[in-house]
């Protein structure tokens, strides 16, 4: 299990992403109290992905949970 996931904030972030089928925008994540650095850690560890989308001429970042992130979250819930 990733060391990143040992952080309770990461668990909460993964749960939020798991409940968002299309992922969350960077702005939505920040509004939930998460920092860009926290999501960068999830992406770096392979628990989430980030992609840039172009909407109305603006670029936004959308973060989604990965299969590994879902498995990690599920394993953590079983404990």
Q: Please, what are the domains in the chain?
A: 3-78 (1.10.10.10)
Burial class (CB in 10 A: 0-12, 13-18, 19+), 70: middle
List pLDDT tens digits, range 28-70.
999 999 998 999 999 999 999 999 999 999 999 999 999 999 9
Strand partners, 64: 49
Chain centroid to CA 9: how far? 11
Q: Which of 76, 53, 55, 79 has the alpha carbon at shortest distance from 64?
A: 53
pLDDT (tens digit per residue) in 9-31: 788 999 999 999 999 999 999 99
What is each CA distance from 42 to 55, 57, 58, in whole angstroms?
24, 27, 24
């Amino acid at each position: 299990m990733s060391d990143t996931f040992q952080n309770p904030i990461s668990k909460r972030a993964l749960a939020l992403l798991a409940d968002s089928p299309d992922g969350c925008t960077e702005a939505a994540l920040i509004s939930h109290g998460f920092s860009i650095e926290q999501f960068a850690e999830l992406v770096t560890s392979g628990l989430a992905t980030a992609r840039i989308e172009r909407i109305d001429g603006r670029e936004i970042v959308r973060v989604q949970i990965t299969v590994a992130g879902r498995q990690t979250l599920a394993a953590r819930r079983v404990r």
